[in-house]
Amino acid sequence: MTKRKRERLKEAAIRAFFFTCGVLAIIVLLGIFATLITTSFPAFKEIKLSEFLLSKNWDPTSPEQAEYGILSMIMSSFIVTLGALIIAVPVGVGVAAYLSDVAHWRVREIVKPVVEVLAGIPSVVVGFLGIVLFAPLISKIFNVGHGLTALNGSILLAIMALPTIISISEDSLTAVPPAYGEASLALGASRWQTLFRVKLPAALSGIIAACMLGMGRAIGETMTVLMATGNARTFPQLPQALLRSVRTMTANIAIELGEVPYHTTHYYALFAIGLVLFIITFFVNLVADVVLHKYQEREL
């Protein structure tokens, strides 16, 4: 084989390898989706879709009448995630703005790695903190009997979503062309006005994407909410629900999948909950992507 031919073959092989790796990600995703669909489909032979999505009662092992409604759990996941975002978005974007604009480079060198460490804390440890530290605090501050509530879950999920939001928002803010900032200052704006009215809007697409990713992280979190929100099956009625026990979809699957007898309606129904979770997270990420691209195109 000539040297040239060997070179071309090597190039083709390397290209094929990288292509396979890329395609593998798509294959895994489609595989998960396919498994979820095929294993949850049999559930809907016994359960009406309207009952599944709209009924507030989940009690598959009931001695009276087995019920498979997941509305309470969808609402619980939603409330806990919303609470987490209300805490994490202002704090996260604030920290990102501080790191990119205001902080002395030495402070930045310390805070950035600390945020990365926060991202690495295992969810069980955060859940443990929730039981031992935050629950008694909530119980004392709000004068309720116990602190295993949606509020507890929101605080913990905010802690877990913060590193994602901070990291990506900070990257977006530093990616804003310095020319924007310099032009704004040259025209007489203060540093605060520059940050708030020029830099943040310019980085908005990245910040929104960061928040959506943080939201995806919060919705999918299992161990933390399992340990710290009390797992009560009641339908959460806002605003009291913040100080009551809730049960998210993720916690429910974790609780019940370990012992459910294989290939019963209960088993398929749990996979159906997984499918709902998958679809929700998929949409959240899709919207984040679309927003990111739309704003990027507009900038050009």
Where does this chain bind other proteins (CB under 8 A)?
A: 57, 59-64, 72, 131, 135-136, 139, 145-148, 226-227, 230-235, 245, 247, 255-256, 258-262
| CB 99 to other proteins: min, Å | 38
Considering the complex, state which of residue 67 and residue 171 has its C-beta at the smaller distance from other proteins: 67
Considering the complex, state which of residue 206 and residue 230 has its C-beta at the smaller distance from other proteins: 230
| CB 158 to other proteins: min, Å | 22
| CB 136 to other proteins: min, Å | 6
| CB 24 to other proteins: min, Å | 31
The answer to whether 149 touches 245, Cβ cutoff 8 Å, is yes
Considering the complex, state which of residue 131 and residue 204 has its C-beta at the smaller distance from other proteins: 131
Q: How far is CA 200 from CA 93, 104, 196, 204, 238, in A?
A: 9, 19, 6, 6, 32
Q: Compute the C-alpha angle 175/180/181, nearest 5°.
A: 90
Considering the complex, state which of residue 152 and residue 169 has its C-beta at the smaller distance from other proteins: 152
Considering the complex, state which of residue 151 and residue 213 has its C-beta at the smaller distance from other proteins: 151
Residue with tokens 């809730």: 246
| CB 256 to other proteins: min, Å | 6
Considering the complex, state which of residue 139 and residue 174 has its C-beta at the smaller distance from other proteins: 139
| CB 173 to other proteins: min, Å | 41
DSSP for 79-108 reads HHHHHHHHHHHHHHHHHHHIIIIIS-HHHH
DSSP for 237-291 reads -TTGGGGS-B--HHHHHHHHTTTSPTTSHHHHHHHHHHHHHHHHHHHHHHHHHHH
Q: Is the preceding peptide bond at 239 cis, omega within 30 degrees of 0? A: yes
